[in-house]
């Protein structure tokens, strides 16, 4: 069995709801795991050296280009070596943490992780995206349509012209209900959302392991 690549991006450590649900997946997962915690050890944002290194002959790389290319090579090889993926990406200000965006920008490289003429080398591999949020952005909620995280990541991670992963999304919601008095009436909905998220994560761990074997 190849490994599960777990990319964490929550800044809250053990208090993170996204991480707690991810742990339910990890507890059920049977197999090796490569865990990259972008909050504890962030990768740098993409620079001009990183962009230009991709189209420059390695023998002509400047020191900055060589360093940037080495990082991209490490991250891409780590990504492509996985048989399944777990992405812990909470909603921050309606979108993803900048640490996760930095990681994406480093690994999205034409003709390496995706192609304009064929499928990604990772196409079809199972991926779980866990994204906790303080409120609700579901149909009918007051903030419906303001979720700029899940639609973006489901496209980047799952579209056949990009990474092509088989993405399942779990969104434990209304996390602010536990400590915001104005949302106290929503606590039962939050608790139900949490139970469903943990149960779904455990079930997916079992199915992913079979597919990645």
Q: What is the pLDDT of residues 15-61, one digit of tens each?
A: 999 999 999 999 999 999 999 999 999 999 999 999 999 999 999 99
**Dihedral angle over CA of 34, 39, 42, 45, nearest 10:** 120
The CA distance from 91 to 93, in Å, is 6
Mean pLDDT of the region 97-113: 97
The CA distance from 179 to 10, in Å, is 19
Three-state secondary structure call for residue 85: strand
At 70 the pLDDT is 97
Mean pLDDT of the region 59-72: 97
Q: Report the DSSP beta bridge partners of residue 193.
A: none
* Tally of CA atoms within 13 A in the half-sphere of 192 that contains its CB: 5
Joined tokens for residue 141: 């909620």
- CB-based contact 194:172 (threshold 8 Å): yes
Mean pLDDT of the region 189-209: 94
Q: For residue 1, name the pLDDT band (cuts at 50, 70, 90).
A: low
* Tally of CA atoms within 13 A in the half-sphere of 78 that contains its CB: 17
Helix (H) or strand (E) holding 3: strand 3-8
Quick one: CATH architecture of 3-35+76-94+116-212? 3-Layer(aba) Sandwich (3.40)
């Amino acid at each position: 069995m190849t490994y599960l690549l777990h990319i964490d991006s929550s800044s809250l450590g053990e208090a993170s709801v996204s991480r707690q649900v991810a742990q339910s997946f990890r507890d059920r997962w049977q197999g090796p795991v490569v865990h990259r915690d972008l909050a504890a050890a962030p990768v740098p944002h993409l620079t001009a050296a990183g962009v230009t290194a991709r189209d420059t002959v390695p023998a002509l790389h400047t020191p900055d280009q060589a360093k940037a290319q080495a990082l991209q090579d490490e991250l891409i090889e780590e990504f492509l070596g996985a048989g399944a993926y777990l992405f812990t990406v909470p909603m921050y200000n309606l979108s993803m943490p900048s640490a996760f965006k930095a990681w994406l920008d480093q690994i999205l490289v034409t003709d390496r992780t995706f192609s304009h003429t064929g499928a990604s080398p990772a196409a079809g591999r199972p991926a779980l995206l866990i994204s906790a949020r303080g409120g609700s952005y579901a149909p009918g909620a007051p903030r419906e349509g303001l979720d700029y995280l899940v639609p973006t990541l489901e496209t980047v991670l799952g579209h056949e012209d990009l990474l092509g992963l088989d993405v399942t999304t779990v969104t434990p919601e209304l996390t602010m209900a536990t400590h915001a008095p104005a949302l106290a009436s929503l606590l039962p909905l939050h608790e139900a959302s949490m139970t469903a998220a943990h149960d779904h994560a455990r079930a997916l761990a079992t199915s992913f392991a079979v597919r990645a074997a």
